[in-house]
Structure 1
Protein backbone atom coordinates (compact mmCIF):
# COMPACT_ATOMS: atom_id res chain seq x y z
CA UNK A 1 0.00 0.00 0.00
CA UNK A 2 2.87 2.38 0.75
CA UNK A 3 3.73 2.45 -2.96
CA UNK A 4 0.50 4.40 -3.53
CA UNK A 5 1.77 7.45 -1.66
CA UNK A 6 4.63 8.34 -3.96
CA UNK A 7 4.29 12.08 -3.22
CA UNK A 8 5.60 11.31 0.30
CA UNK A 9 9.28 10.53 0.78
CA UNK A 10 9.84 6.78 1.05
CA UNK A 11 11.35 7.21 4.54
CA UNK A 12 8.05 8.60 5.83
CA UNK A 13 5.57 6.76 3.63
CA UNK A 14 4.73 4.24 6.34
CA UNK A 15 3.36 7.06 8.50
CA UNK A 16 0.59 7.91 6.04
CA UNK A 17 -1.60 5.11 7.43
CA UNK A 18 -0.46 5.52 11.05
CA UNK A 19 -2.93 6.68 13.75
CA UNK A 20 -3.68 10.39 13.78
CA UNK A 21 -1.86 11.10 17.04
CA UNK A 22 1.35 9.53 15.73
CA UNK A 23 1.18 11.53 12.50
CA UNK A 24 0.55 14.79 14.37
CA UNK A 25 3.41 14.09 16.78
CA UNK A 26 5.67 13.43 13.76
CA UNK A 27 4.97 16.94 12.47
CA UNK A 28 6.52 18.48 15.60
CA UNK A 29 9.85 16.71 15.10
CA UNK A 30 12.68 18.85 13.66
CA UNK A 31 13.24 18.06 10.00
CA UNK A 32 15.66 19.36 7.39
CA UNK A 33 14.29 20.61 4.07
CA UNK A 34 17.22 21.15 1.70
CA UNK A 35 17.20 24.02 -0.80
CA UNK A 36 19.81 25.61 -3.07
CA UNK A 37 20.92 28.63 -1.03
CA UNK A 38 21.19 26.59 2.16
CA UNK A 39 23.21 23.91 0.37
CA UNK A 40 25.55 26.58 -1.04
CA UNK A 41 26.14 28.08 2.41
CA UNK A 42 26.82 24.66 3.91
CA UNK A 43 29.35 23.95 1.14
CA UNK A 44 30.98 27.31 1.89
CA UNK A 45 31.17 26.42 5.59
CA UNK A 46 32.77 23.07 4.81
CA UNK A 47 35.34 24.80 2.62
CA UNK A 48 36.14 27.34 5.36
CA UNK A 49 36.50 24.65 8.00
CA UNK A 50 38.96 22.67 5.89
CA UNK A 51 41.21 25.54 4.89
CA UNK A 52 44.79 25.32 6.21
CA UNK A 53 45.61 27.47 9.22
CA UNK A 54 47.06 30.91 8.55
CA UNK A 55 47.42 34.16 10.54
CA UNK A 56 44.40 35.88 8.98
CA UNK A 57 41.59 33.38 8.45
CA UNK A 58 38.55 34.34 6.40
CA UNK A 59 35.31 34.50 8.39
CA UNK A 60 31.64 34.40 7.43
CA UNK A 61 28.49 36.19 8.59
CA UNK A 62 25.19 34.44 7.80
CA UNK A 63 22.26 36.86 7.95
CA UNK A 64 18.53 36.76 7.36
CA UNK A 65 15.18 37.76 8.80
CA UNK A 66 14.10 36.33 12.11
CA UNK A 67 12.56 32.84 11.80
CA UNK A 68 13.88 32.41 8.26
CA UNK A 69 15.94 29.25 8.77
CA UNK A 70 19.38 30.53 9.85
CA UNK A 71 19.65 28.54 13.06
CA UNK A 72 18.18 25.43 11.42
CA UNK A 73 20.80 25.66 8.66
CA UNK A 74 23.65 26.07 11.14
CA UNK A 75 22.47 23.18 13.26
CA UNK A 76 22.20 21.02 10.15
CA UNK A 77 25.82 21.85 9.35
CA UNK A 78 26.82 21.12 12.94
CA UNK A 79 25.00 17.76 12.91
CA UNK A 80 26.79 16.77 9.69
CA UNK A 81 30.32 17.93 10.51
CA UNK A 82 30.58 18.86 14.18
CA UNK A 83 30.18 15.53 15.97
CA UNK A 84 32.55 15.11 18.90
CA UNK A 85 34.75 12.02 18.76
CA UNK A 86 37.93 10.44 20.10
CA UNK A 87 40.96 10.17 17.83
CA UNK A 88 43.44 7.31 17.55
CA UNK A 89 45.42 8.72 20.49
CA UNK A 90 42.34 8.74 22.74
CA UNK A 91 42.11 12.53 22.59
CA UNK A 92 38.71 14.20 22.60
CA UNK A 93 38.03 16.17 19.39
CA UNK A 94 35.44 18.94 18.97
CA UNK A 95 35.58 20.01 15.30
CA UNK A 96 33.00 22.79 15.71
CA UNK A 97 31.98 24.86 18.69
CA UNK A 98 28.46 26.23 18.27
CA UNK A 99 27.67 28.84 20.91
CA UNK A 100 25.19 31.66 21.39
CA UNK A 101 26.34 35.24 21.70
CA UNK A 102 25.85 36.79 25.13
CA UNK A 103 22.74 38.96 25.46
CA UNK A 104 24.89 42.09 25.25
CA UNK A 105 28.41 43.07 24.20
CA UNK A 106 30.50 41.74 27.07
CA UNK A 107 33.87 40.06 26.60
CA UNK A 108 33.73 38.08 29.83
CA UNK A 109 30.24 36.75 29.06
CA UNK A 110 31.47 35.73 25.61
CA UNK A 111 34.16 33.51 27.15
CA UNK A 112 31.63 32.06 29.60
CA UNK A 113 29.31 31.20 26.71
CA UNK A 114 32.17 29.43 24.91
CA UNK A 115 33.37 27.58 28.01
CA UNK A 116 29.85 26.24 28.57
CA UNK A 117 30.15 24.30 25.31
CA UNK A 118 33.06 22.21 26.62
CA UNK A 119 31.26 20.89 29.70
CA UNK A 120 34.34 21.33 31.89
CA UNK A 121 34.61 23.09 35.26
CA UNK A 122 35.28 26.83 35.21
CA UNK A 123 34.63 29.76 37.50
CA UNK A 124 32.51 32.59 36.06
CA UNK A 125 33.94 34.79 38.79
CA UNK A 126 37.52 34.33 37.54
CA UNK A 127 39.33 37.27 36.02
CA UNK A 128 38.88 38.14 32.36
CA UNK A 129 42.47 37.12 31.64
CA UNK A 130 42.03 33.69 33.23
CA UNK A 131 38.76 33.00 31.37
CA UNK A 132 40.41 34.07 28.12
CA UNK A 133 43.38 31.76 28.73
CA UNK A 134 41.11 28.82 29.62
CA UNK A 135 39.04 29.37 26.47
CA UNK A 136 42.09 29.41 24.21
CA UNK A 137 43.56 26.37 25.97
CA UNK A 138 40.37 24.30 25.50
CA UNK A 139 40.02 25.27 21.85
CA UNK A 140 43.56 24.00 21.27
CA UNK A 141 43.18 20.91 23.43
CA UNK A 142 40.03 19.79 21.60
CA UNK A 143 41.43 20.77 18.17
CA UNK A 144 38.49 23.00 17.30
CA UNK A 145 38.42 23.85 13.58
CA UNK A 146 35.58 26.39 13.54
CA UNK A 147 33.70 28.64 15.96
CA UNK A 148 30.06 29.52 15.20
CA UNK A 149 28.37 32.29 17.19
CA UNK A 150 24.58 32.40 16.86
CA UNK A 151 22.51 35.52 17.64
CA UNK A 152 25.49 37.62 16.55
CA UNK A 153 23.33 40.78 16.41
CA UNK A 154 23.08 40.66 20.23
CA UNK A 155 26.58 42.15 20.31
CA UNK A 156 25.01 45.47 19.28
CA UNK A 157 23.53 45.78 22.77
CA UNK A 158 25.94 47.86 24.80
CA UNK A 159 28.12 50.93 24.54
CA UNK A 160 30.42 51.43 21.54
CA UNK A 161 33.38 50.75 23.81
CA UNK A 162 31.98 47.37 24.91
CA UNK A 163 31.14 46.51 21.30
CA UNK A 164 34.72 47.19 20.25
CA UNK A 165 36.07 45.13 23.13
CA UNK A 166 34.02 42.06 22.32
CA UNK A 167 34.76 42.31 18.59
CA UNK A 168 38.47 42.66 19.38
CA UNK A 169 38.16 39.51 21.50
CA UNK A 170 36.65 37.66 18.53
CA UNK A 171 39.44 38.93 16.28
CA UNK A 172 42.00 37.80 18.86
CA UNK A 173 40.49 34.29 18.97
CA UNK A 174 40.60 34.10 15.18
CA UNK A 175 44.25 35.21 15.10
CA UNK A 176 45.43 33.19 18.08
CA UNK A 177 43.70 29.94 17.12
CA UNK A 178 43.88 30.44 13.34
CA UNK A 179 40.36 29.13 12.81
CA UNK A 180 37.42 30.65 10.90
CA UNK A 181 34.67 32.30 12.92
CA UNK A 182 31.08 32.28 11.69
CA UNK A 183 28.50 34.75 12.95
CA UNK A 184 24.78 34.07 12.53
CA UNK A 185 22.13 36.74 12.99
CA UNK A 186 19.70 39.25 11.57
CA UNK A 187 20.73 41.95 9.11
CA UNK A 188 21.56 44.16 12.09
CA UNK A 189 24.57 41.92 12.63
CA UNK A 190 26.30 43.70 9.74
CA UNK A 191 26.43 46.81 11.93
CA UNK A 192 28.47 44.86 14.47
CA UNK A 193 31.22 44.42 11.88
CA UNK A 194 31.44 48.15 11.25
CA UNK A 195 32.67 48.91 14.76
CA UNK A 196 36.09 48.67 13.10
CA UNK A 197 36.96 48.50 9.36
CA UNK A 198 39.32 45.60 10.11
CA UNK A 199 36.38 43.49 11.29
CA UNK A 200 34.37 44.13 8.13
CA UNK A 201 37.31 43.19 5.92
CA UNK A 202 37.60 39.79 7.63
CA UNK A 203 34.00 38.69 7.07
CA UNK A 204 32.20 37.63 3.92
CA UNK A 205 28.41 37.94 4.17
CA UNK A 206 25.93 35.26 3.07
CA UNK A 207 22.22 36.06 3.17
CA UNK A 208 19.19 33.83 3.52
CA UNK A 209 16.60 36.07 1.80
CA UNK A 210 12.85 35.75 2.11
CA UNK A 211 11.36 33.69 -0.70
CA UNK A 212 9.92 35.23 -3.85
CA UNK A 213 6.80 33.79 -5.43
CA UNK A 214 8.48 31.89 -8.25
CA UNK A 215 9.28 28.37 -9.40
CA UNK A 216 11.87 27.99 -6.62
CA UNK A 217 9.19 28.66 -4.03
CA UNK A 218 6.93 26.12 -5.73
CA UNK A 219 9.80 23.64 -5.65
CA UNK A 220 10.23 24.32 -1.92
CA UNK A 221 6.55 23.55 -1.35
CA UNK A 222 6.93 20.34 -3.34
CA UNK A 223 9.75 19.33 -0.99
CA UNK A 224 7.67 20.20 2.06
CA UNK A 225 4.86 18.01 0.72
CA UNK A 226 7.20 15.01 0.76
CA UNK A 227 7.39 15.08 4.58
CA UNK A 228 3.68 15.61 5.27
CA UNK A 229 2.01 12.23 6.04
CA UNK A 230 -1.32 12.81 4.30
CA UNK A 231 -3.31 10.16 2.46
CA UNK A 232 -4.09 12.43 -0.50
CA UNK A 233 -1.66 14.54 -2.51
CA UNK A 234 -2.13 18.26 -1.84
CA UNK A 235 -0.22 19.53 -4.90
CA UNK A 236 1.14 22.43 -2.87
CA UNK A 237 3.14 23.61 -5.87
CA UNK A 238 -0.13 24.46 -7.66
CA UNK A 239 0.02 28.21 -8.53
CA UNK A 240 -3.15 29.08 -6.59
CA UNK A 241 -2.04 27.26 -3.43
CA UNK A 242 1.53 28.54 -3.72
CA UNK A 243 0.33 32.14 -4.09
CA UNK A 244 -1.91 31.91 -1.02
CA UNK A 245 0.84 30.28 1.07
CA UNK A 246 3.28 32.98 -0.01
CA UNK A 247 0.85 35.78 0.82
CA UNK A 248 0.20 34.45 4.32
CA UNK A 249 3.82 33.57 5.11
CA UNK A 250 5.39 36.62 3.51
CA UNK A 251 7.98 34.28 2.00
CA UNK A 252 9.42 33.65 5.48
CA UNK A 253 10.58 30.03 5.75
CA UNK A 254 9.61 29.64 9.39
CA UNK A 255 6.13 30.99 8.68
CA UNK A 256 5.77 28.60 5.74
CA UNK A 257 6.66 25.67 7.99
CA UNK A 258 4.31 26.79 10.75
CA UNK A 259 1.45 27.31 8.30
CA UNK A 260 1.88 23.94 6.62
CA UNK A 261 2.05 22.10 9.94
CA UNK A 262 -1.17 23.79 11.10
CA UNK A 263 -2.85 22.96 7.78
CA UNK A 264 -1.67 19.34 7.93
CA UNK A 265 -3.07 18.90 11.43
CA UNK A 266 -6.40 20.30 10.16
CA UNK A 267 -6.32 17.96 7.17
CA UNK A 268 -5.69 14.95 9.45
CA UNK A 269 -8.24 15.76 12.15
CA UNK A 270 -10.96 16.78 9.69
CA UNK A 271 -10.51 13.66 7.56
CA UNK A 272 -9.83 15.76 4.46
CA UNK A 273 -6.36 14.17 4.20
CA UNK A 274 -5.06 16.93 1.96
CA UNK A 275 -4.30 20.65 2.26
CA UNK A 276 -6.89 22.63 0.35
CA UNK A 277 -7.18 26.33 -0.42
CA UNK A 278 -9.98 26.60 2.15
CA UNK A 279 -7.78 25.07 4.87
CA UNK A 280 -4.90 27.42 4.01
CA UNK A 281 -7.21 30.45 4.19
CA UNK A 282 -8.58 29.25 7.52
CA UNK A 283 -5.06 29.35 8.97
CA UNK A 284 -4.11 32.82 7.72
CA UNK A 285 -3.61 33.77 11.40
CA UNK A 286 -0.16 32.18 11.13
CA UNK A 287 1.22 35.46 9.79
CA UNK A 288 2.21 37.27 13.02
CA UNK A 289 1.72 40.87 11.85
CA UNK A 290 -1.75 40.16 10.50
CA UNK A 291 -2.72 38.52 13.77
CA UNK A 292 -1.46 41.54 15.73
CA UNK A 293 -3.45 43.96 13.61
CA UNK A 294 -6.59 41.89 14.10
CA UNK A 295 -6.13 41.87 17.89
CA UNK A 296 -5.50 45.62 18.01
CA UNK A 297 -8.38 46.34 15.68
Structure 2
Protein backbone atom coordinates (compact mmCIF):
# COMPACT_ATOMS: atom_id res chain seq x y z
CA UNK A 1 0.00 0.00 0.00
CA UNK A 2 3.02 2.31 -0.21
CA UNK A 3 1.64 3.80 -3.43
CA UNK A 4 -1.37 5.26 -1.56
CA UNK A 5 -1.72 8.30 0.65
CA UNK A 6 -2.15 7.34 4.28
CA UNK A 7 -5.75 8.52 4.59
CA UNK A 8 -6.69 6.63 1.40
CA UNK A 9 -5.47 3.24 2.62
CA UNK A 10 -8.37 2.73 5.00
CA UNK A 11 -10.78 2.74 2.04
CA UNK A 12 -9.39 -0.60 0.88
CA UNK A 13 -11.37 -2.18 3.71
CA UNK A 14 -14.63 -0.47 2.75
CA UNK A 15 -17.45 -1.99 0.75
CA UNK A 16 -17.44 -1.92 -3.05
CA UNK A 17 -20.02 0.86 -3.19
CA UNK A 18 -18.13 3.00 -0.67
CA UNK A 19 -14.87 2.64 -2.56
CA UNK A 20 -16.50 3.55 -5.86
CA UNK A 21 -18.23 6.55 -4.29
CA UNK A 22 -14.88 7.73 -2.94
CA UNK A 23 -13.24 7.32 -6.35
CA UNK A 24 -16.05 9.30 -8.01
CA UNK A 25 -15.98 12.14 -5.48
CA UNK A 26 -14.56 15.50 -6.70
CA UNK A 27 -11.03 16.07 -5.46
CA UNK A 28 -8.73 19.05 -5.29
CA UNK A 29 -5.43 18.64 -7.14
CA UNK A 30 -2.92 21.27 -6.05
CA UNK A 31 -0.86 21.47 -9.24
CA UNK A 32 1.36 24.43 -10.12
CA UNK A 33 -1.17 26.46 -12.15
CA UNK A 34 -3.85 25.98 -9.50
CA UNK A 35 -1.58 27.04 -6.65
CA UNK A 36 -0.39 30.08 -8.59
CA UNK A 37 -4.02 31.04 -9.25
CA UNK A 38 -4.68 30.91 -5.50
CA UNK A 39 -1.64 33.10 -4.85
CA UNK A 40 -2.88 35.73 -7.30
CA UNK A 41 -6.37 35.67 -5.80
CA UNK A 42 -4.88 36.02 -2.32
CA UNK A 43 -2.96 39.09 -3.51
CA UNK A 44 -6.20 40.68 -4.72
CA UNK A 45 -7.85 39.93 -1.41
CA UNK A 46 -4.98 41.44 0.61
CA UNK A 47 -4.36 44.54 -1.54
CA UNK A 48 -4.85 48.04 -0.10
CA UNK A 49 -7.89 50.09 -1.01
CA UNK A 50 -7.72 51.71 -4.45
CA UNK A 51 -9.82 53.97 -6.66
CA UNK A 52 -8.80 52.05 -9.77
CA UNK A 53 -8.71 48.39 -8.87
CA UNK A 54 -7.10 45.71 -10.99
CA UNK A 55 -8.86 42.48 -11.86
CA UNK A 56 -7.79 39.08 -13.06
CA UNK A 57 -8.64 36.89 -16.05
CA UNK A 58 -8.45 33.13 -15.47
CA UNK A 59 -8.58 31.87 -19.04
CA UNK A 60 -8.21 28.45 -20.60
CA UNK A 61 -10.06 25.72 -22.48
CA UNK A 62 -13.18 24.00 -21.14
CA UNK A 63 -12.79 21.05 -18.75
CA UNK A 64 -9.47 22.31 -17.45
CA UNK A 65 -10.22 23.02 -13.79
CA UNK A 66 -10.72 26.80 -13.81
CA UNK A 67 -13.98 26.73 -11.87
CA UNK A 68 -12.61 24.38 -9.24
CA UNK A 69 -9.61 26.68 -8.67
CA UNK A 70 -11.88 29.65 -8.01
CA UNK A 71 -14.44 27.80 -5.90
CA UNK A 72 -11.73 26.19 -3.79
CA UNK A 73 -10.27 29.62 -3.05
CA UNK A 74 -13.69 31.02 -2.19
CA UNK A 75 -14.45 28.13 0.17
CA UNK A 76 -11.07 28.41 1.91
CA UNK A 77 -11.64 32.13 2.40
CA UNK A 78 -15.13 31.56 3.77
CA UNK A 79 -13.84 29.06 6.32
CA UNK A 80 -11.14 31.42 7.58
CA UNK A 81 -12.80 34.83 7.35
CA UNK A 82 -15.02 36.57 9.86
CA UNK A 83 -16.80 38.34 7.01
CA UNK A 84 -17.31 36.99 3.50
CA UNK A 85 -15.35 39.12 1.03
CA UNK A 86 -15.17 36.71 -1.94
CA UNK A 87 -18.31 35.88 -3.93
CA UNK A 88 -18.66 33.56 -6.91
CA UNK A 89 -21.16 34.58 -9.58
CA UNK A 90 -22.33 31.87 -11.98
CA UNK A 91 -22.90 33.98 -15.08
CA UNK A 92 -26.24 33.10 -16.61
CA UNK A 93 -26.78 32.04 -20.18
CA UNK A 94 -28.42 34.70 -22.26
CA UNK A 95 -27.39 38.14 -23.36
CA UNK A 96 -28.23 41.49 -21.82
CA UNK A 97 -27.82 43.36 -18.56
CA UNK A 98 -30.95 41.82 -17.03
CA UNK A 99 -29.42 38.34 -17.18
CA UNK A 100 -26.06 39.63 -15.94
CA UNK A 101 -27.54 41.51 -13.00
CA UNK A 102 -29.74 38.52 -12.21
CA UNK A 103 -26.60 36.37 -11.88
CA UNK A 104 -25.10 38.77 -9.36
CA UNK A 105 -28.27 39.00 -7.29
CA UNK A 106 -28.56 35.23 -7.18
CA UNK A 107 -24.94 34.92 -6.04
CA UNK A 108 -25.57 37.46 -3.28
CA UNK A 109 -28.63 35.43 -2.27
CA UNK A 110 -30.92 38.39 -2.81
CA UNK A 111 -34.61 38.14 -3.73
CA UNK A 112 -35.21 38.62 -7.44
CA UNK A 113 -38.14 38.84 -9.80
CA UNK A 114 -38.60 37.85 -13.41
CA UNK A 115 -39.13 41.44 -14.44
CA UNK A 116 -36.52 42.90 -16.78
CA UNK A 117 -36.27 46.15 -14.80
CA UNK A 118 -32.57 46.78 -15.31
CA UNK A 119 -32.52 50.05 -13.39
CA UNK A 120 -34.15 48.49 -10.33
CA UNK A 121 -31.73 45.56 -10.38
CA UNK A 122 -28.77 47.96 -10.62
CA UNK A 123 -29.98 49.91 -7.59
CA UNK A 124 -30.43 46.68 -5.64
CA UNK A 125 -26.91 45.54 -6.51
CA UNK A 126 -25.41 48.88 -5.46
CA UNK A 127 -27.24 48.67 -2.13
CA UNK A 128 -25.95 45.13 -1.52
CA UNK A 129 -22.39 46.04 -2.45
CA UNK A 130 -22.50 48.92 0.01
CA UNK A 131 -23.77 46.62 2.78
CA UNK A 132 -21.75 43.47 2.09
CA UNK A 133 -18.52 45.19 0.97
CA UNK A 134 -17.17 42.37 -1.23
CA UNK A 135 -13.51 42.61 -2.17
CA UNK A 136 -13.50 40.04 -5.01
CA UNK A 137 -16.31 39.09 -7.39
CA UNK A 138 -15.54 35.96 -9.40
CA UNK A 139 -17.59 35.70 -12.60
CA UNK A 140 -17.57 32.07 -13.74
CA UNK A 141 -18.35 31.32 -17.40
CA UNK A 142 -18.00 35.03 -18.13
CA UNK A 143 -17.96 34.33 -21.88
CA UNK A 144 -21.75 33.85 -21.57
CA UNK A 145 -22.25 37.62 -21.42
CA UNK A 146 -20.09 38.26 -24.47
CA UNK A 147 -22.54 36.70 -26.94
CA UNK A 148 -25.02 39.55 -26.87
CA UNK A 149 -25.34 42.87 -28.62
CA UNK A 150 -22.32 45.16 -28.66
CA UNK A 151 -24.03 47.77 -26.51
CA UNK A 152 -24.89 45.18 -23.86
CA UNK A 153 -21.31 43.91 -23.73
CA UNK A 154 -20.04 47.49 -23.43
CA UNK A 155 -22.48 48.10 -20.57
CA UNK A 156 -21.17 45.02 -18.71
CA UNK A 157 -17.57 46.23 -19.15
CA UNK A 158 -18.58 49.67 -17.89
CA UNK A 159 -20.12 47.98 -14.84
CA UNK A 160 -16.81 46.20 -14.13
CA UNK A 161 -14.96 49.51 -14.28
CA UNK A 162 -17.47 51.21 -12.03
CA UNK A 163 -17.49 48.66 -9.22
CA UNK A 164 -13.76 49.07 -8.84
CA UNK A 165 -13.99 52.84 -8.54
CA UNK A 166 -17.16 53.01 -6.46
CA UNK A 167 -16.99 49.88 -4.29
CA UNK A 168 -13.30 48.88 -4.32
CA UNK A 169 -14.10 45.49 -5.89
CA UNK A 170 -11.66 43.45 -7.98
CA UNK A 171 -13.50 41.46 -10.67
CA UNK A 172 -12.16 38.03 -11.64
CA UNK A 173 -13.31 36.76 -15.04
CA UNK A 174 -13.24 33.01 -15.70
CA UNK A 175 -13.80 31.68 -19.18
CA UNK A 176 -12.49 30.65 -22.56
CA UNK A 177 -10.25 32.64 -24.88
CA UNK A 178 -13.16 34.92 -25.91
CA UNK A 179 -12.79 36.63 -22.52
CA UNK A 180 -9.16 37.45 -23.26
CA UNK A 181 -10.05 38.74 -26.73
CA UNK A 182 -12.80 41.09 -25.54
CA UNK A 183 -10.85 42.52 -22.61
CA UNK A 184 -7.87 43.25 -24.84
CA UNK A 185 -9.87 44.97 -27.56
CA UNK A 186 -9.21 48.32 -25.86
CA UNK A 187 -6.20 49.56 -23.93
CA UNK A 188 -8.52 50.87 -21.23
CA UNK A 189 -9.84 47.43 -20.32
CA UNK A 190 -6.53 45.66 -20.95
CA UNK A 191 -4.84 47.92 -18.40
CA UNK A 192 -7.31 46.83 -15.73
CA UNK A 193 -6.87 43.05 -15.92
CA UNK A 194 -3.94 40.71 -15.45
CA UNK A 195 -3.96 37.28 -17.06
CA UNK A 196 -3.53 33.93 -15.40
CA UNK A 197 -3.54 31.24 -18.06
CA UNK A 198 -4.81 27.70 -17.49
CA UNK A 199 -3.64 26.04 -20.73
CA UNK A 200 -3.87 22.42 -21.76
CA UNK A 201 -1.34 20.16 -20.13
CA UNK A 202 1.76 19.13 -22.02
CA UNK A 203 3.29 15.66 -21.91
CA UNK A 204 6.13 16.47 -19.54
CA UNK A 205 7.37 15.81 -16.04
CA UNK A 206 4.58 17.90 -14.52
CA UNK A 207 1.96 15.73 -16.23
CA UNK A 208 3.64 12.56 -14.93
CA UNK A 209 3.67 14.03 -11.43
CA UNK A 210 -0.05 14.71 -11.76
CA UNK A 211 -0.66 11.06 -12.63
CA UNK A 212 1.35 9.95 -9.58
CA UNK A 213 -0.78 12.25 -7.40
CA UNK A 214 -3.98 10.80 -8.84
CA UNK A 215 -2.81 7.22 -8.30
CA UNK A 216 -1.98 7.98 -4.66
CA UNK A 217 -5.53 9.28 -4.11
CA UNK A 218 -7.40 6.29 -5.57
CA UNK A 219 -7.94 3.25 -3.30
CA UNK A 220 -6.61 0.44 -5.49
CA UNK A 221 -4.75 -2.35 -3.69
CA UNK A 222 -2.06 -2.71 -6.37
CA UNK A 223 0.19 -0.10 -7.88
CA UNK A 224 -0.72 0.90 -11.46
CA UNK A 225 2.39 2.97 -12.27
CA UNK A 226 0.28 5.52 -14.14
CA UNK A 227 3.38 7.56 -14.94
CA UNK A 228 4.91 4.64 -16.85
CA UNK A 229 5.59 5.75 -20.45
CA UNK A 230 3.05 3.58 -22.28
CA UNK A 231 0.24 4.08 -19.79
CA UNK A 232 0.88 7.81 -19.40
CA UNK A 233 0.95 8.33 -23.18
CA UNK A 234 -2.42 6.62 -23.55
CA UNK A 235 -4.01 8.69 -20.79
CA UNK A 236 -2.64 11.84 -22.39
CA UNK A 237 -4.02 10.84 -25.80
CA UNK A 238 -7.49 10.13 -24.44
CA UNK A 239 -7.64 13.27 -22.31
CA UNK A 240 -6.11 15.63 -24.88
CA UNK A 241 -4.34 17.47 -22.08
CA UNK A 242 -7.50 18.60 -20.24
CA UNK A 243 -7.36 17.98 -16.52
CA UNK A 244 -11.09 17.31 -16.31
CA UNK A 245 -10.69 14.60 -18.93
CA UNK A 246 -7.53 13.25 -17.29
CA UNK A 247 -9.45 12.74 -14.06
CA UNK A 248 -12.44 11.28 -15.93
CA UNK A 249 -10.29 8.70 -17.75
CA UNK A 250 -8.40 7.62 -14.64
CA UNK A 251 -11.59 7.55 -12.55
CA UNK A 252 -13.41 5.34 -15.07
CA UNK A 253 -10.45 2.97 -15.24
CA UNK A 254 -10.14 2.82 -11.44
CA UNK A 255 -13.83 1.96 -11.02
CA UNK A 256 -13.49 -0.80 -13.61
CA UNK A 257 -10.43 -2.13 -11.75
CA UNK A 258 -12.33 -2.25 -8.46
CA UNK A 259 -15.34 -4.00 -9.98
CA UNK A 260 -13.23 -6.58 -11.81
CA UNK A 261 -11.04 -7.30 -8.81
CA UNK A 262 -7.87 -6.49 -10.78
CA UNK A 263 -7.10 -3.64 -8.35
CA UNK A 264 -4.81 -1.90 -10.82
CA UNK A 265 -5.06 0.01 -14.11
CA UNK A 266 -3.31 -1.24 -17.23
CA UNK A 267 -3.13 0.00 -20.82
CA UNK A 268 -5.41 -2.79 -21.95
CA UNK A 269 -7.94 -1.71 -19.33
CA UNK A 270 -7.93 1.78 -20.84
CA UNK A 271 -8.63 0.25 -24.23
CA UNK A 272 -11.62 -1.64 -22.87
CA UNK A 273 -13.18 1.61 -21.67
CA UNK A 274 -13.81 2.58 -25.31
CA UNK A 275 -13.23 6.17 -24.16
CA UNK A 276 -13.64 8.68 -26.99
CA UNK A 277 -11.63 11.93 -26.72
CA UNK A 278 -13.70 15.12 -26.67
CA UNK A 279 -12.55 16.33 -30.07
CA UNK A 280 -13.66 13.06 -31.70
CA UNK A 281 -17.09 12.60 -30.13
CA UNK A 282 -18.98 14.35 -32.86
CA UNK A 283 -17.54 11.88 -35.37
CA UNK A 284 -17.58 8.83 -33.12
CA UNK A 285 -18.92 5.61 -34.72
CA UNK A 286 -21.62 5.36 -32.04
CA UNK A 287 -23.20 8.53 -33.44
CA UNK A 288 -24.37 6.62 -36.51
CA UNK A 289 -26.48 4.36 -34.31
CA UNK A 290 -28.32 7.38 -32.91
CA UNK A 291 -29.71 8.54 -36.27
Q: TM-score range by the shorter chain?
A: over 0.9
Offset of residue 126 of structure 1: 6.9
1:275 aligns with 2:271: no
Q: Which residue is equivalent to 2:71?
A: 75
- Per the TM alignment, residue 120 of structure 1 is displaced from its structure 2 partner at its CA by 3.0
Residue of 8, 32, 36 corresponding to 2:32: 36
Cα RMSD (Å): 1.8
Give the Cα separation in 1 of the matches to 2:116 and 2:59. 33
| Conservation of the 8 A alpha-carbon contact between 2:98 and 2:116 | no
Provide the C-alpha distance between the structure 2 equivalents of 1:112 and 1:236, rounded to a whole number of angstroms. Answer: 45
**How far apart, in 2, do the equivalents of 1:275 and 1:162 lie?**
50
CA drift of 1:256 comes to 0.5
1:149 corresponding residue in structure 2: 139
Unmatched segments (≥5 aa) in structure 1? 88-92
1:98 and 2:88 are equivalent in the alignment: yes
TM, length-normalised to structure 2 = 0.93
User: Which of 114, 126, 132 is residue 136 of structure 1 equivalent to?
Assistant: 126
Corresponding residue pairs, total: 287
Q: TM-score, normalised by structure 1?
A: 0.91
Residues 1:7 and 2:7 aligned together? no
Q: CA deviation at 1:128?
A: 2.4
Match of 2:182 in 1: 192
Secondary structure at the residue paired with 1:230?
coil
Residue 58 (str. 1) matches residue 54 (str. 2): yes
Structure 1 pair 291–117 and aligned structure 2 pair: CA distance change class (3 A): closer
Q: Unaligned regions of 5+ residues in structure 2, if any?
A: none
1:214 pairs, out of 204, 212, 222, with 204
Aligned counterpart, 2:213: 223
| Inter-CA distance 286–25: structure 2 relative to 1 (3 Å threshold) | farther
Native 8 Å contact 2:59 2:177 kept in 1? yes
Distance, in Å, in 2 between the alignment partners of 1:73 and 1:267 is 29
Matched, 1:169 2:124: no
